[in-house]
Amino acid sequence: MTTPASANLAKPLEGLTVVDFCQFLSGPYAALRLSDLGARVIKIENAQGGDLCRRLYISNLELDGDSTLFHSINRNKESVAVNLKQPEDRAFVEELLQGADIMMQNFRPGVIERLGFSFEKVTAINPRIIYGSISGYGQEGPLVGMPGQDLLVQSISGIAWQNERAGEAPVPFGLAVADMMAGAHLVQGLLAAAVRRAITGKGAKVEVSLLESTLDTMQEVWSDELQQPGAREGSRPPVEQPPLGGIYAAREGWLALGAVPAADVAALGRLVGSAALAAGGEPAASRAELQRALRADTAAQWAARLEAAGFACAEVLDWLQLLQTEAFRRLEMVQTVRRANGVELATLRCPIRIDGRQFRSPVGSPQIGEHNERIARELAERKMTRAGASGGANEKGA
């Protein structure tokens, strides 16, 4: 639990300023993690509608005019609404970049260049900046022009075949795994570049793609495929469980059973009351026999018995069931964030702990352009400070 003493400590990234052109999920998720750890994140949004994620609904839930997904991954950020076709707005963003530590963008290749904020132009404004980019498929090759959408990336990467069974259709993950992994990888690269800059003073260009990040999550599959291409039937590798490992239906609920060493199969058979399983046999027949035996009791009853006997197992919970468990309560994962107008949202906290400390923030997601005036004042004050310093230097020189 967070103690009052630790609550007053600075977060590790406090003092870093991030100018974030990203929208949808991958980039905003990366910026969220930086924000959770203390960085100041300023979203650059189109004045006409803002981040498209504001209208990206994964359910029918909406709060204060924006999707709950937008609220959850854009908490504790500031919003500046601009029209980059207007010279005064472009100058405003350039002034922001002069004082920034990190810039992030996840447009299709070529778009940020047309907007006038390529790596070359931004580093001319601020040579020490760390410039982060997320693309769908990298910066070159035949896929560059394709939409960088999570479903498409899952389909191209082969990961949609991971759950294929007996000729069934490929099944994509029910989560945006490509977006989330790319966002996590961008954070890793940005922080690595920040460490190098602290040593050398040099900025950096950090690039990740949804496709490369998705491939990276498939190390188990590719470790085999690269040694002997096509060794797995049809090059469509299903998720492989050790014999008897997997998810089984109980009389009520579902039970997940971890790997069962061959030496322990007989003991498992005796525990579940199956002489056939205890006697051993072909894996397919043993799985069918175990499934038959497990239907005799509920998943909760089996989990208690199997765990007591030293077998790795767990009930398969849905989200509502998990919310009601003591284990979930003890994690203290839920926090409440609040917009300036008082609208509240329950969401998850940062999953990282440092020195035992949880990282939370009560600040909700921004409304479009909510911080234009405040940041404009800050930039004006910075100009005045620079002008005063320059004048003082000239006087001394005279």
Give pLDDT tens digits for 258-280.
Answer: 999 889 999 999 999 999 999 88
pLDDT given at position 23: 95
> For position 272, what pLDDT does the model report?
96
Neighbours of 334 (CB within 10 A): 12
Q: What percentage of the chain carries pLDDT values higher than 90? A: 79
CB 246 within 8 A of CB 257: yes
> Which range is least confidently modeled, 4-13, 97-106, 164-173, 304-313?
4-13
> Which pLDDT score, from 0 to 100, does residue 243 have?
73
- 242 — pLDDT class (breaks 50, 70, 90): low
Is 60 exceeded by the pLDDT of residue 235?
A: no
The set of catalytic residues is 179
Cα three-residue angle 213-219-220, rounded to 5 degrees? 145
Which H, E and C letters describe 294-310, residue by residue?
A: HCCCCHHHHHHHHHHCC
Contact present, 254 and 248 (Cβ < 8 Å): yes
By mean pLDDT, which of 31-35, 47-51, 175-179, 283-287 is the weakest? 283-287
The pLDDT tens digits of the residues spanning 119-142 come to 999 999 999 999 999 999 999 999
- Ordered by start, the domain boundaries in the chain are 12-219+345-385, 246-316
Q: What is the pLDDT of residue 93?
A: 98
Average pLDDT over residues 361-373: 97
The tens digit of pLDDT for each residue in 1-34 reads 344 444 557 999 999 999 999 999 999 999 999 9
How far is the C-alpha of 315 from the C-alpha of 328, rounded, in Å?
14
Q: What's the mean pLDDT in 101-109? A: 97
User: Taking a C-beta distance cutoff of 8 angstroms, is the pair 55, 17 a contact?
Assistant: no
Start-end of H helices in 56-160: 68-73, 87-98, 111-114, 119-125, 150-157
pLDDT category of residue 164 using cuts at 50, 70 and 90: low
Q: Between these two residues, 233 and 64, which has the higher pLDDT value?
A: 64
H helices within 169-231, ranges in order?
177-200, 210-216, 219-225
Instruction: Calculate mean pLDDT across residues 67-95.
Output: 96
The predicted pLDDT at position 1 comes to 38
Residues 6+ apart with CB under 8 A from 150: 25, 176, 177, 178, 179, 210
First to last CA, the chain: 60
Residues 6+ apart with CB under 8 A from 320: none
Any idea which of 109-113, 170-174, 204-208 has the lowest mean pLDDT? 170-174
Superfamily designation of domain 12-219+345-385: Crotonobetainyl-coa:carnitine coa-transferase; domain 1 (3.40.50.10540)
pLDDT for residue 57 is more than 80:
no
